[in-house]
Structure 1
Amino acid sequence: MLQEKEIEQAKEPLAPACEIRNISEGDVSIVGLKRRISLLSGTALITGTMIGSGIFVSPKGVLERSGSIGLSLIVWIGSGVISLLGALCYAELGTLITKSGAEYSYILESFGGPLAFLFSWISVFILKPAMLSIICLTLSEYIVQPFYPECQPDSYAIKLIAIFFIVTITYVNCYSVSLATSTQNIFTAAKLLAIIIIVIGGVVHLLQGNTHHISKGFEGSKSVSDIASAFYSGLWAYDGWNNLNYVTEELINPRRNLPLAIIFGIPLVTLCYVLVNISYMSVMSIDEILASDAVAVTWGNHILGFAAIIIPISVALSSFGAGNGSCFTSGRLAFAAAREGHLVDVLSYVDMRRYTPSPALVFNAFLSIILVIPGNIESLIDFFSFAAWMFYGVTMLSLVVLRYRSPYKDKHRPYKVGLIDKT
């Protein structure tokens, strides 16, 4: 016979992940996250989050800091390789530790509570809200840009629209996991169409013999220190390669689908990014790219003429999809950390009707709005990239720790990345 207190708790719309349901049938079961994300949705989550605002914002920063077309393309390829290597490490960790939370869960398993606690607080309070803020600010800038063709857009309008999109994206993710993943699939298809338009436009332009911009090669290349800072912008554009690890508990057959989604998704994104940058650089001069606040819009004005309105619409769709993916995973990190007692308990609650971590999602939206008010895109990108990759490095180190603490013969690994170890 169940206690009256348990029955009352089960009637609440929100309950901790360890609460009970199906009271009327006498069953005692766990309220938690459901496995609803397929391989297709998982691949769309990775590509949809990676192909977001970055490819429309970062080309200017990468080119400015590298100094030349040739070197900037090397930075784009190098950033893709780094992201792929990192994701393959995460694939082993994700199939070994099948919990949501990604870095948090892996650091907790490898190094214990204190370091995991530090990561959870920095990520929940700074990194994840900053990511959503950057994406929504970019989305807002591209929406506002066509209304200010001859001058700088009003900063207050940009920030108000960004806040509106933060609230909208959060509502979608709180309402339904199925709605959030369906939104991700649809917007991923839309943004890939936009990428195809830019790539084809660049190819046609090159075939017409317009190679005078891109033929400059490595002319004007800067120093090693400048190149290192160029990777900040490049890696920001690739960020999102680890997002599927945040929702491992909701991924169908994660031991198979997690590595496959990574292997399919990241090379596709790398190819798209390199081709898009070649298209930008074949159409516009270095000075034009550096002077533009909306590189893709400037490209569209050169190539598409009266149809250039397609580009800001496509960027808006792309950024909205990226924001949706970022919000989806951010809530799961706060949920996982709160479940371990490293954040307030309410953030570990799950909506009993929709199976979404609504309190964690709303909390992430609140922090994102706070960062939007005083922030700007460039400073947020630099801050995010430095802090994020510091913890990515710690997470990859946890792979080495787990290899030696629990070698292959002691613990089965469905996927194993190449590494010199005891096995």
Structure 2
Amino acid sequence: MDLRERQPLLNTPSTHYNTLQPESIGNPHNELSPSHLDSLPGASSGKSLSWSSAYILVVSRVIGSGIFATPGSIVKSTGSVGLTLLVWLVGTILSACSMAVSMEYGCMLPRSGGEKVYLEYTYPRPRFLASCLVAAQAVILGFTASNCIVFAKYTLFAFNIESTEFQHKALAVGLLTIITIIHGRFLRTGIWIQNVLGWVKIFLIGAMSLTGIWVILLRLYGGPAHISPGAARNSPIVWDTIWEGSNWSWNLLSTALFKVIYSYAGLNNVNNVLNEVHDPVKTLKTVCPSALFTAGGLYFLANISYFLVVPLEEIKSSGELVAALLFERLFGDHIGRTLLPLAIAISAAGNVMVVTFALARVNQEIARQGFLPWQQALSSSRPFGTPLGGLIVHYVPSLLVISLPPQGDVYNFILDVEGYPGQIFALAVTLGLLLLRYREPDRLRPFKAWLPAVWLRIGLCLALLVAPFIPPPNWKGDVNFFYAAYAIVGVGVIVFAIIYWYVWTVVLPRWGGYRLEEEVETLDDGTSITKLIRSYRA
């Protein structure tokens, strides 16, 4: 019998954990030591990320355009102040549950790749299915379009330019192109820039969040009359009125929850680059909770500031410019309309940098394990010691998503399309965590997620997957598309990946009389890749 048939775990690239670690045989904990990690395919011996860099990588990914651009659409979906704050609270708790699952996986399997590694390790059968699904999701939906769009809108708003659709798209594409060049040519410079932008972003969101407290103090002790005209005299944050106008449709609430969860997206960003982190397990256990508390506190204060300063109806109609309205009302046309919106644009650019940095490495892992064409070119770190191939794979779909769709509701639609398949993978990862606890109870787990949090995340994923197909009031969603359009597109990507997997790994091998096998090869630059070769039957 073929060795691969006797040991199914050898059939997926991620299971080199077992095949390349003879020392772990007989180890009751199957512990992965740092030396073992360096021997894994695709592992990097360069540790370029300190604790502070890892923290910025997470915080700058989390605090992106979400808190600046999504509150308007979230309020439009929920209809009231009270329900909006409740959705943010529930979204924060659920994001913490998701973070705990990622932390257990990351501490148990501390290598770059994130969900790709976890799904491949957990679901080795059917062969290559998990890898194809992750590859399709990463390549087709792993774009960085939303923050590029926010950057363009806030930049043009700051300079009071009556822009055309072409100017918006050109500026967004220009940002994406420059960041791709920086990360592809100047590794350490790119890390330094994203660290600086990350701290600027924390200062910015902190200042914005404190404006709510400032406004309260001004109201208590008397202050300038120009602050929040119409809203200053009738604050919406009164218990008797905060629930007025609430929309309790689960379809609308689910899209609002998607956007809140999107605002926390990136709490697992360091999981994607663990090969490059000093002391990855210890760093992971402290960086992620620190980022969650930082973002959660700032988000709550920022929402209070919006409601204290900007009238509710203006927030609902603000689109992605609610933060700009806040600053304009607080500080006037010069500072409020120019300097602070420009700072938000820079913050969005910082988010694009860290997302591009992480997703390029995920794409490189996918290429190294044989699931992209031109494998050697896309897997290599030559000529600049950077994942240039992964950056190109990330750049192309992002460019198309920015350039092709019309403006209008495209921002919210992009968020929803990104979020829906993500819930499918989140459900698979979370169920896989329970499966691994049953299948490998003795594996070392430096961090273990609280079991109720795991089940809560499973319940959330199921609810969010069903919600888009429940008709909202008047059969109208929060964008000018069919209310379930984003879910259909997301499911379509998954179905496409399954069909591709079946044709590539089942139909064609049957017709051709061969079997797909894995063969490890080392490139000239020392990079280990897994080639998928055809093994013909005798």
TM-score range, shorter chain: 0.7 to 0.9
Q: 1:261 aligns with which of 287, 291, 308?
A: 287
Change (3 A) 1:291 1:258: same
* Structure 1 match to 2:96: 84
Distance 2:153 2:296 in 1: 25
Instruction: State the AA in 1 paired with 2:362.
Output: L
Letter paired with 2:198:
T
CA distance in 2, matches of 1:119, 1:56: 32
Give the alignment's TM-score, normalised by structure 2: 0.69
Cα 1:31–1:87 shift into 2, 3 Å: closer
Counterpart mapping for 1:120-269 below 5 A: 120-129=134-143, 132-148=144-160, 153-209=163-219, 210=232, 212-215=235-238, 216-225=241-250, 226-269=252-295
Cα distance in structure 2, aligned partners of 1:31 and 1:248: 12
Q: Once structures 1 and 2 are overlaid, which stretch shifts more, 360-369 or 199-208?
A: 199-208
Report the residue type matching 2:313 in the other structure.
D
Which deviations, in whole Å up to 9, do the C-alpha atoms of 1:23-61 show, x marking residues without a partner?
A: xxxxxxx98532211111111111101101111111011
- SS class of match (1:118): helix
Judging changes above 3 Å, is the alpha-carbon distance between structure 1 residues 274 and 115 closer, same or farther for their aligned structure 2 residues?
farther
After superposition, where does 1:1-400 map in structure 2 within 5 Å?
A: 33=44, 34-112=46-124, 113-129=127-143, 132-148=144-160, 153-209=163-219, 210=232, 212-215=235-238, 216-225=241-250, 226-293=252-319, 294-305=321-332, 306-308=334-336, 309-344=338-373, 345-346=375-376, 348-352=378-382, 354-375=384-405, 376-400=410-434
Query: Alpha-carbon deviation of 1:352?
Result: 4.1
Decide whether aligned partners of structure 1 residues 231 and 289 sit closer, same or farther in structure 2, where only a CA change above 3 A counts: same
Question: Partner amino acid for 1:255?
Answer: V
Judge conservation of contact 2:169–2:402 (CA < 8 Å) in 1: yes
Identify unmatched segments of 5+ residues in structure 2.
1-40, 220-231, 455-538
Over the matched positions of the two proteins, sequence identity in percent amounts to 25
Larger mean CA deviation between 111-120 and 254-263 belongs to 111-120
Count of residues paired in the alignment: 388
Query: Which residue identity is paired with 1:365?
Result: Y
Distance 2:47 2:195 in 1: 17
Structure 1 range deviating more: 312-321 or 32-41: 32-41
The Cα shift of 1:382 comes to 1.3
Contact 2:43 2:112 in 1 (8 A): no
- Aligned to 1:304, the other structure's residue is in SS state helix
In 2, Cα distance between the equivalents of 1:412 and 1:32? 20
The letter for the 2-side match of 1:418 is W
Equivalent position of 1:15 in the other structure:
none
In structure 1, what is the Cα distance between the partners aligned to 2:145 and 2:167?
A: 15
Aligned residue in 2 for 1:4: none
Q: Name whichever structure is richer in helix by fraction.
A: 1
Which of 1 and 2 has higher RCO (CA within 8 Å, sep 6+)?
A: 1
Deviation at 1:347, TM superposition (A): 5.9
Name the aligned partner's letter for residue 83 of structure 1: S
CA RMSD of aligned residues (A): 2.1
Equivalent-residue separation in structure 1 for 2:324 and 2:42 (angstroms): 47
- 1:278-320 deviation digits (Å, cap 9, x = unpaired): 1011101111112223111111110011311222121111101
Query: How far off is 1:348 after superposition?
Result: 4.7
Distance 1:413 1:181 in 2: 30
Compared CA separation, residues 397 and 31, structure 1 to 2 (3 A): closer
Contact 2:74–2:84 at 8 Å: present in 1 too?
Answer: yes
Query: Does structure 1 conserve the Cα–Cα contact (< 8 Å) formed by 2:42 and 2:368?
Result: no
Q: Does 1:414 align with 2:446?
A: yes
Counterparts of 1:323 and 1:101, CA distance in 2:
19
1:175 Cα shift? Answer: 2.0
State the shift of 1:122 in Å.
2.6
